[in-house]
Structure 1
């Protein structure tokens, strides 16, 4: 029987999806792995939970009758500067076209504009490819020596993993990591300041920046929906707790979380 205790996988196979699939099976949660972009008829409106990449998430959530939780598009830009560690603004891409300096640009909560470093605004996708009113996050470029994914539940870190080192994929458990204490300490600072601006289940990425003088500083990288984020080397059972909360029926959501429903 397909119901709210079922987890639907719309992700292409990956280490994270396989780990979460096993975690769900170990917990007695039914799992359905989709082989195409549309769920079978018996899944329509079932209210199951979802773990999916962005390309399929909206269509699948609509078909399944569930709500996905995510941070507001401007969440990162609205953080206090000591937490974001660089200048970041949320603007229509038309405004970014006039920039004449290197910038890091990405779409918040979708992939309409490829995330990356652009030499200047003239190198961004033009109005023939993107609606000029499309909102983008524009940030000063920074270098991260190490980056960590934190699965957050009810305003506290529930699971964590390193996922990158000097810009390259480098998976390592947070438990026992040399930066374990520093990561959790910075995370507590971030969540103390802004837990009310996040849903109860979310992924927050943080990293250790290094400037040209070699000065190190912790900063928030971004926040993403747990329903579409890799768990990397984190405890998959604890990551699964966050994924399940981040994708369910509107009737199961708290009044707080309803504010963060993906539209």
Structure 2
């Protein structure tokens, strides 16, 4: 009998991590919290994870895993029908030259908090100028929703904010945000990984628009069904041998020269 699949969590607990762990236990998975090195080599080929960038980087450096990310230019490449605003993919150095308020966020990861800056001088000065960022005209979302996507379909959904304040609630199957998500996914076709998170919202004025896309392996589930969210997370962060050919363009690449033992030292230093 083959060993069960493992579901690995970082030492910093989160509500979503606990919910996913419970769902994984019900499936008979081997759920483990990794408090520090060494990462058991015997988990290679059967491990999945949920956790932040440093944790994920350490685990994937030690085990043969693949993490799926949305494309950096997803928002910038979408037509205005889906974004409702002008969005561009630029470098942090270019964003530092902004002279008017802009919403700026890292194109991938969480190197600095996303938000509206009065000008480019308010952006972090310690980060490299070549860091890719998304820059957009500021808009107001009256409600925001998280869509967990699997195989080009909305697999789980939740409201997560009202007027910029966290306020999670489950979405009924016929909610307009799910319909908008289906339209977006049909437009994107093969332009997304098979497991990903897409946030959409209602702009001030009533129009639906894409907020952003994120990796499913460290995105809050909010009020969505944890069992269905787990389906997406397991696909988004799992053994490389399970990787589908269509997902290969979306695999996060490890930094050159990173050794598993060095990466493992980051297990205790995780983003919230």
Same fold at TM > 0.5: yes
Per the normalisation by structure 1, the TM-score is 0.91
- Select the residue among 238, 248, 258 that pairs with 2:238: 248
After superposition, residues 210-221 of structure 1 pair within 5 angstroms as: 210=204, 215-221=205-211
Q: 2:141 aligns with which of 132, 136, 144?
A: 144
Q: What aligned pairs does 1:7-18 form with structure 2 within 5 A after superposition?
A: 7-10=7-10, 12-18=12-18
Within the alignment, does 1:189 sit opposite 2:188 as a pair?
no
Structure 2 distance, partners of 1:29, 1:39, is 21
1:226-261 deviation line (CA, Å, top 9, x unaligned) = 111111111111111100011112221111001100
Higher relative contact order, chain-length normalized (CA < 8 Å, sep 6+): 2
Alignment partner, residue 91 of structure 2: 92
Deviation of the 1:80 alpha carbon = 1.2
- Across the aligned residues of Structure 1 and Structure 2, the Cα RMSD in angstroms comes to 1.9
Alignment of 1:84-233 (within 5 A): 84-126=83-125, 129-175=126-172, 180-210=174-204, 215-233=205-223
SS at match of 1:216: coil
Gaps of 5+ in 2: 254-272
Deviates more, 1:104-113 or 1:164-173: 104-113
CA distance in 2 between counterparts of 1:224 and 1:3 reads 31
Match of 2:34 in 1: 34
- CA, structure 1 residues 17+182, in 2 after alignment: closer, same or farther (shift >3 Å)? same
- The alpha carbon displacement at 1:64 in A equals 2.3
Q: How far does residue 54 in structure 1 lie from its aligned partner after superposition?
A: 2.3
SS at match of 2:175: helix
Misfit runs of 4+, over 3 Å: 1-4, 38-47
Three-state SS of the structure 2 residue aligned to 1:22 is: helix
Q: Which runs of 5+ in 1 are unaligned?
A: none
Q: More deviation in 106-115 or 154-163?
A: 106-115
Q: Distance in 2 between matches of 1:24 and 1:109?
A: 27
2:138 and 2:54 mapped to 1: Cα distance? 27
Give the deviation of 1:195 after TM superposition: 3.0
Q: Secondary structure at the match of 1:131?
A: coil
Query: Does residue 43 of structure 2 align to residue 53 of structure 1?
Result: no
- How far did residue 5 of structure 1 move? 1.1
CA distance in 1 between counterparts of 2:109 and 2:152 reads: 24
The two structures have a TM-score, normalised by structure 2, of: 0.88
Distance between the aligned counterparts of 2:182 and 2:108, measured in 1?
23
Count of residues paired in the alignment: 253
Q: Give yes or no for contact 2:45–2:240 (8 Å, CA) kept in 1.
A: no
Contact 1:4 1:46 in 2 (8 A): no
2: CA distance, partners of 1:135 / 1:253: 26
